[in-house]
Amino acid sequence: MIRFLLLAAVVFGSGMTIYAMVDRPEPYDVPYYKAHPAMREMMLSVCHKDAGKQRPADCENAEAASAIDIQAANGKLLAYMYDPTYWHDNPFTRDVVIAECARRMPNDEMVLPLCDAARRGHE
């Protein structure tokens, strides 16, 4: 099993967050991260800052939940997809899209219109 950093508890009043290491065989899914924004933000922080603690499925699911919130708040997810800032703020997803843009395999055509914005978000 992979040891992974999870938010264990929030100590109310002091504003201090306590973290604990736990074994978890399966990643959390998108609905979980959608329903638990504090866990999502903690996971995104780990994914973006410490490659050694990354779990790709958890990172993808947390970023997908974040994208759903962006869509709900704005109602224009496609507009965000063409904004380099979105790709800069979501490096895991950005790297996947850039890889798909480079490989040009079947079904990658969905991301081809996003390649330029993803690359600009990497700068």
pLDDT recorded at residue 6: 38
Which token pair is 79? 């507009």
Residue 19 vs residue 24, higher pLDDT: 24
Mean pLDDT, residues 98-121 taken together? 86
- Residues 49 and 54: their CA atoms lie apart, in Å, by 9
Q: pTM of this prediction?
A: 0.43
Residue 14 above 60 pLDDT?
Answer: no
Residue 32 is given by DSSP the state H
pLDDT band at 74 (very low <50, low <70, confident <90, very high): low
